Structure 1
């Protein structure tokens, strides 16, 4: 039977020891077991705490994580390391992530006022790091069952797609290309014949399907469902993910046009906050060969 996940992937999971951090731990253990890779479990203690308190918290966190991991890995053949570091959370995570292929985080908010001004830990890790970042939002009931990969036909979205197929080669996947074409609405308003506006939309969709087909062929990706729709990317992504019961959405965070603008900067971070399902965000800077 074909494995639903690739082998030998080094993972870093960072947890704040909250229930949502526990979800990230559970997903990390599931993925590490499936890939037979190495797992580093990280907790960061605030560097601004008084030294005696920080030392005590580091000891307590190390003991707690060791117990949690022993329970989660019972009966599994899994190599893991527990690390409790002192520093600023996102800085320590991005530094440790240099030796990992995926960073796994829970979707949590530690201090709401700080988050308003500088973003959540996940957003800051995505902003400052280059390692693909998986934000776990839902309970973990097993491997992912259905994946939605949003692309804009850019090089970065190609890398995101290849990385997703490398990690989950046998999981059903939809590749979504959203075309934001506001000029079609304007044309519909001024069209003498309503059919003319429909013809314009059909032409745009036909061209988009041809472009997506060429994009997939060039990437060497087969066995996925290509979907092209007109609309605004954030709305379209969530609608299509919900329609397909996708439990993971994969996004490239930089690109050229269309969804590229949506995935850049603060809007990409809104996707991490508001999509009610797990999100894997892939940035430029690394090559992920198709396997």
Structure 2
């Protein structure tokens, strides 16, 4: 089954090199089905809106000229690549919020994957000014592939982050969905599927407040619970024990560490789309993790997720 045949690629207006487009072509050329790639660019220049000496029609004409220039620029980028047997569509819009325009296009075009190049964010800036990547991770209804510089070699490795804790029932079907996604990508990329789970360390304050508390026994019990749950999950999906990792620590520390150890080409994460103040000050595991990884990240929403930007969500 070819999961991704209608790709939306976010074009970076500031660079000639377009890793997201390159990755989309990788998917298209490896796929056994016909693939359509829509190259999307949202541009906005406030100075065009403030030119009071021009009429509305003249401003509209100037905007149209800018859009045309950008479409021609995208066409020149396409000409540098092998697009044999791939349908390429160029879509340039005038919009001051790129993430909103991208998500609107996902709905309008029924895209099954959004691909965007990413880079390390300034941590303080990420808290005050949420990057477009974070908005997409929270609000995009389809999977989001964030592309970095790591290549996709043959016989590479895919790392899938699962949560085997039984505290949240939502994680059970999401784990299954993530592993199914990993298996589909492994067939496309001829790559090995690996699973990783992080379990919490013993809280230091408990050992201080309860002198009779045995931290070693507690740690062993927590680890044992997670190992058993991981065993059940890997057996359910017929994955070898050697391809599963269960480590103590925070997910945003454990996942990058295992990814580096494996030299993974792709990390697959689930993101629940947290919004509001909790997202600003806490963030999702996916958001904390992407900055620590030097490979691509595929973020998947749980079944039933409804984007706050869906056309009928209000």
Q: More deviation in 123-132 or 264-273?
A: 264-273
The aligned counterpart of 2:28 is: 32
CA distance change for structure 1 residues 123 and 177 in 2, over 3 Å: closer, same or farther?
A: same
Aligned partners of 2:234 and 2:121: how far apart in 1?
40
TM-score by length of 2: 0.73
Q: What SS does the corresponding residue of 1:19 show, helix, strand or coil? A: coil
Structure 1 portions without partners, runs of 5+? 256-260
**In the TM superposition, what is the alpha-carbon distance from 1:265 to its structure 2 partner?**
3.4
Aligned partners of 1:165 and 1:171: how far apart in 2?
9
Aligned partners of 2:158 and 2:252: how far apart in 1?
16
**In the TM superposition, what is the alpha-carbon distance from 1:181 to its structure 2 partner?**
3.2
Aligned partners of 2:64 and 2:26: how far apart in 1?
31
Larger Rg: 2
CA distance change for structure 1 residues 140 and 243 in 2, over 3 Å: closer, same or farther?
A: closer
TM-score by length of 1: 0.78
The aligned counterpart of 1:43 is: 41
Give the conservation status (yes or no) of the 8 Å contact 1:8–1:38: no
Aligned partners of 1:211 and 1:175: how far apart in 2?
12
The aligned counterpart of 1:171 is: 191
**In the TM superposition, what is the alpha-carbon distance from 1:48 to its structure 2 partner?**
4.4
Q: Does 1:146 align with 2:119?
A: no
CA distance change for structure 1 residues 112 and 69 in 2, over 3 Å: closer, same or farther?
A: farther
Q: What SS does the corresponding residue of 2:294 show, helix, strand or coil? A: coil
Aligned partners of 1:141 and 1:61: how far apart in 2?
29
The aligned counterpart of 1:230 is: 248
Q: 1:103 aligns with which of 108, 114, 124?
A: 114
Superposition RMSD in Å: 3.5
CA deviation profile, 1:162-196 (whole Å, cap 9, x unmatched): 22222333411210011113248955997889xx6
Q: What SS does the corresponding residue of 1:72 show, helix, strand or coil? A: coil
Aligned partners of 1:185 and 1:114: how far apart in 2?
32
Structure 2 portions without partners, runs of 5+? 49-58, 165-170, 274-278, 306-314
CA deviation profile, 1:55-106 (whole Å, cap 9, x unmatched): 22211221121222232125x3222211112222111111122311111001
Q: 1:81 aligns with which of 63, 81, 89?
A: 89
CA distance change for structure 1 residues 275 and 159 in 2, over 3 Å: closer, same or farther?
A: same
Q: What SS does the corresponding residue of 2:79 show, helix, strand or coil? A: helix
CA deviation profile, 1:113-167 (whole Å, cap 9, x unmatched): 9865341111112222221111112154656822111111313233222222223
**In the TM superposition, what is the alpha-carbon distance from 1:269 to its structure 2 partner?**
2.2
The aligned counterpart of 2:261 is: 243
Q: What SS does the corresponding residue of 1:33 show, helix, strand or coil? A: helix
The aligned counterpart of 1:282 is: 300
